[in-house]
Amino acid sequence: GQNIDQPTEMTATEGAIVQINCTYQTSGFNGLFWYQQHAGEAPTFLSYNVLDGLEEKGRFSSFLSRSKGYSYLLLKELQMKDSASYLCASSYSGAGSYQLTFGKGTKLSVIP
């Protein structure tokens, strides 16, 4: 299978900026998704990147470098409600059915 690597845990202060990194295998790569998952809840879609560069959506931005097999999720003006796990998932061509390979998730704790 395809390996997705992201840090297990991160802690950041309310109001600050945090960057969550993700690396993936580039062979057959066809897109990168970020999901947010609060404890005990379902993952919810945050962002999608397929081309190099930054995609901005309010306080959340996602960056992709296809040549480096690297993405990050940037969260600005952190709020307590941003405490959650953030899942990086990659899509690969040829997998059919648009299957996603998920990383193990990064648990973000926002502290006052």
- Binding residues vs another protein (CB under 8 A): 1, 4, 8, 30-31, 33, 41-45, 48, 50, 87, 89, 91, 93, 96-100, 102-105
In 10 A of CB 86, how many CB atoms? 25
Q: Enumerate residues 6+ apart whose C-beta is below 8 A from 40.
A: none
Q: Give the nearest distance from C-beta 108 to another protein in angstroms.
A: 15
When the beta carbons of 34 and 72 are compared against another protein, the nearer one is 34
Decide: helix, strand or coil at residue 47: strand
When the beta carbons of 24 and 78 are compared against another protein, the nearer one is 24
When the beta carbons of 43 and 69 are compared against another protein, the nearer one is 43
- The CA distances from residue 41 to 20, 36, 71, 90, in Å, are 20, 10, 24, 21
Decide: helix, strand or coil at residue 109: strand
When the beta carbons of 11 and 13 are compared against another protein, the nearer one is 11
Tokens encoding 60: 């959340």
Q: Give the nearest distance from C-beta 62 to another protein in angstroms.
A: 13
